[in-house]
Amino acid sequence: MKKIYLLALIVTVFGLTASAQNDFTASTATAKNEYKAGNLEEARFALQQSLAEVDKEIGKEILGILPKSIAGFSFVEANDNVSGNSSSFGGLFVHRDYGDTTKSVAIDLMDNSPMLAGINSLLAMPMIMNSSDGSQKVVKVSGYKALLQRKDATQAVGGYTLQIPFNQSLFTLDFDGAFTESEVTSAANAMPISEVAKLTY
Amino acid sequence: MLKLQLKGAVALALLCFLNYQTEAQAILNKVKSAAKNKAANAIFGDNDAPSTPSVSEGDERSGRPMNNTSGGLITTPPDVGKSIATAESSFSAKKYGEARYALQQAIVGIEMEMGNKVMESLPEKVAGIDFVKESDKVTSTGMAFVGLTIFREYYNDDKAIDITVANNSSLLMSANMYLTNPAYTSGQENIKSVTVQGFKGVLEFSEYDGYKLSVPLGQTSIAIMKMVNFADETAALKVSDAFDLAGIQKQLGDKIN
């Protein structure tokens, strides 16, 4: 019985990998043909499809190195999501959820994100960003500057959002529930940010 | 006798002073002349000047040379065929970061070709005003939300026109927002909806910038024309007729309906 499961798993993994390879190969071949024929817009569209396939592969590698649990919560495998957007507003998108209905953590990675410019300019002004009501401040996570925001400033313990920009990417950790700031930062520091940055570079 | 000696001493002192003044004047003239020559060389160039780098006038203390011999950047677009080949081999080797970069370079190469073709199709003279060749600019980043832009301008002492064609650009969003939401245009006295060459567009007026006409050319392209010092709306809209909007749309491969 175990052998059958193993065989099914191998076939599935191989099938998915082969499918990605086929999609990439097909769209790249289309791009070459259209370019030779002088159909520039068609060639570009086909290359954007190829780019989306590459992004998906990068996304799968990122999901592979993200931890299986955060702050004692296991990840929800069914919610794992990777997409390579070939059109406007964002290329690679990776999503993973941890936790349950009372406390949860969501990880989102957006690559080629137009939101990056805003975050980066805010991080360059830490005096402005460290608000007096304690709702937001600039912190360092694994050596990267990050913007930490408390969702409800009136509560001592609540949800947090941590945004870490690097390269052309925005890595966001969204903590929902009764988390403390130290729990948030220690969980964030357990993230393989540097490895993710290398994969998206 | 004493008076005579005194007069002689005064005369000698005066002579020395005059001589000193003459020498000082000569030195001053030499400095002035050198400065004039240096300034003239800086402005008009000097073929006989030595080839050593000049020193910044305002930064003589550090002696840091000004950049005046570098050749600039190579503006040849990336080779599309080579970039695609690199992407294929990198993808096969599971080097996804390199594959992505190569694909982006290929897209830049294609977009630069598209942009240059659009640029060639733009008129060289609009409303009797010649284009400024040095200002022609085609830009592509290979990134989706920045996209491809083509810029050309025309101006004389009195009037100015420029056109920016953007493809796959976030610039398209604001114009589409106005067009899909009529309340935006009807409620503002400086913005109105217009139809130009069969395309729906948005015409804006600002006292300082003149007229600005934004015309979406399909799903992902837009043409933005600015007209400065044109008498009225009719004159400004007439300028836009000089640009073949349907032709630009076709070259960018966009569809409206």
C-beta atoms of A54 and B111 within 8 A: no
Option in A42, A44, A55 nearest B100 (CB): A55
Interface contact A85, partner B, CB < 8 A: yes
Other CB atoms within 10 Å distance of the CB of residue B222: 25
| Residue A111: per-residue pLDDT | 81
Option in B103, B144, B220 nearest A112 (CB): B144
Cβ neighbours for A57, distance < 8 A, ≥ 6 positions apart: A20, B91, B94, B96
Interface contact B81, partner A, CB < 8 A: yes
Element (H, E) at A185: helix A181-189
C-beta atoms of B96 and A61 within 8 A: yes
Of chain B, the percentage scoring pLDDT greater than 70 comes to 65
C-beta atoms of B144 and A87 within 8 A: yes
Distance of alpha carbon A14 from alpha carbon A8, whole angstroms:
10
Q: Look up tokens 């992505």; give the residue.
A: B100
Interface contact B168, partner A, CB < 8 A: yes
| Residue A169: per-residue pLDDT | 85
In A169-188, the residues whose Cβ lies within 8 Å of chain B are: none
Residue A194 pLDDT greater than 50, yes or no: yes
pLDDT, one tens digit per residue, over B164-216 is 999 876 666 666 666 666 656 666 678 888 999 999 889 999 999 999 999 98
Distance of alpha carbon B249 from alpha carbon B216, whole angstroms:
9
C-beta atoms of A54 and B91 within 8 A: yes
| Residue B59: per-residue pLDDT | 53
Residue B148 pLDDT greater than 80, yes or no: yes
Option in A24, A44, A168 nearest B107 (CB): A44
Interface contact B245, partner A, CB < 8 A: no
CB B224 within 8 A of CB B150: no
HEC string of A77-119?
HHHCEEEECCCCCCCEEEEEEEECCCCEEEEEEEECCCCHHHH
Q: In what order do the strands lie in the sheet with A92-99?
A: A81-84, A92-99, A104-111, A169-179, A158-166, A144-150, A136-141
Cβ neighbours for A150, distance < 8 A, ≥ 6 positions apart: A134, A135, A136, A158, A159, A160, A181
Cβ neighbours for A174, distance < 8 A, ≥ 6 positions apart: A105, A106, A107, A108, A159, A160, A161, A162
C-beta atoms of B144 and A54 within 8 A: no
Mean pLDDT rounded to a whole number for chain B: 77
A-chain residues near B88 (CB < 8 A): 25, 28
Interface contact B82, partner A, CB < 8 A: no
Residue B224 pLDDT greater than 60, yes or no: yes
Mean of the pLDDT values across residues A53-60?
91
Residue A22 pLDDT greater than 90, yes or no: no
Confidence of residue A47 (pLDDT cuts 50, 70, 90): very high
Mean of the pLDDT values across residues A83-108?
81
**CA of B106: which chain A residue's CA is closest?**
A47
Q: Best mutation site among A47, A48, A87 for testing chain B: the one with the most B CBs within 10 Å?
A: A47
Mean pLDDT rounded to a whole number for chain A: 81
Closest CA–CA distance from residue B254 to any residue of chain A (Å) = 8
Option in B103, B110, B113 nearest A51 (CB): B103
Q: Is A156 exposed, middle or buried (0-12, 13-18, 19+ CB in 10 A)?
A: exposed
| Residue A101: per-residue pLDDT | 83
Residue B67 pLDDT greater than 60, yes or no: yes
Element (H, E) at A74: strand A73-74
Interface contact B103, partner A, CB < 8 A: yes
Strands B221-228 and B160-167: antiparallel
| Residue B68: per-residue pLDDT | 82
CB B167 within 8 A of CB B181: no
Q: Which ipTM was obtained for this model?
A: 0.74
Residue A13 pLDDT greater than 70, yes or no: no
Q: Best mutation site among A54, A55, A82 for testing chain B: the one with the most B CBs within 10 Å?
A: A54
CB B101 within 8 A of CB B107: no
| Residue B186: per-residue pLDDT | 62
What global pTM score does this model have? 0.70
Q: In 3D, which of B193, B89, B77, B196 has the Cα closest to residue B139?
A: B77
Say which DSSP state B131 is in: B
Query: How long a stretch of residues is chain B?
Result: 257
Structure tokens, B138? 């085609």
Q: How many CB pairs under 8 A join A and B?
A: 87
Q: How many CA atoms lie within 13 A of A61 on its CB side?
A: 17
Mean of the pLDDT values across residues B122-131?
95
